[in-house]
Amino acid sequence: MLLAGLVSPRLTSYSNSSLFLKADSWIFLQVNNLHSSIFNKLMIWLTEYGREVFWVVVIVLLFILGGGSGKKTAIVIAISILVLIPLGTITKDIISRLRPAIPKSDFLIAADSDYSFPSGHAVIVSAGAAVALALFRDTYRKLAISVLLAIEATLVCISRVYVGGHYPLDVVGGILLGVGVSFIFVGIGGHLESLFLSIKNILKH
């Protein structure tokens, strides 16, 4: 909430946080100006497919191939994402921070039309990675898979700044929101599991 207040034109005067916002813009430029032919295609791919497509596939594979912990992880990730999608949209409208519009920056893809804070990509991928690291770790192989998912989520977050879609603080805000909400569902995961088992038993009869 403190971070949102610092970046929102509705909640605070930009003059009161000018140094904070200037630092955010400066970091944005440093990342955004690192463009090279080697990384451009990768970062565009990550920003276009690393959220919905990648994580839908992950949820399906975890549910089918991940055993008991995989099914639980997949369900918690899915519930977290379903809650976070409208929550992220509402938060964007409340904060009303505009997308990056810095002349020196080099935009690799067209900017989205909605507001900037928090990053929707960061919200979703950080939630998925956080749940996987918390729940899908009962063997070394599963922990390794969760670490790889966290690495993918990190690269997607970086890609949002790299392609010019978000300021760094938008991404940080998205991570905080995604991890925070997902951990609520991780915490009540046992209750959700009991609920699903009860429903399953009722359907059997």
Sign of CA dihedral 6, 7, 12, 13: positive
Residue 86: asked if its preceding bond is cis (omega within 30°), the reply is no
Number of domains within the chain = 1
Q: Is residue 21 part of a domain?
A: no
Q: Is residue 115 part of a domain?
A: yes
Residue 188: predicted pLDDT = 81
Q: Is residue 190 part of a domain?
A: yes
Q: Is residue 3 part of a domain?
A: no
Q: Is residue 91 part of a domain?
A: yes
Q: Is residue 30 part of a domain?
A: no
The CA distance from 138 to 68, in Å, is 10
Indicate if 205 belongs to the active site.
no
Q: Is residue 166 part of a domain?
A: yes
Q: Is residue 178 part of a domain?
A: yes
Residue 131: predicted pLDDT = 96
Indicate if 191 belongs to the active site.
no
Contact 123, 84 (CB under 8 A): yes
Intervals of the chain under pLDDT 50 = none
Catalytically annotated residue among 35, 121, 191, 205: 121
Residue 99: predicted pLDDT = 84
| Residue range(s) defining the domain that contains residue 43 | 39-204
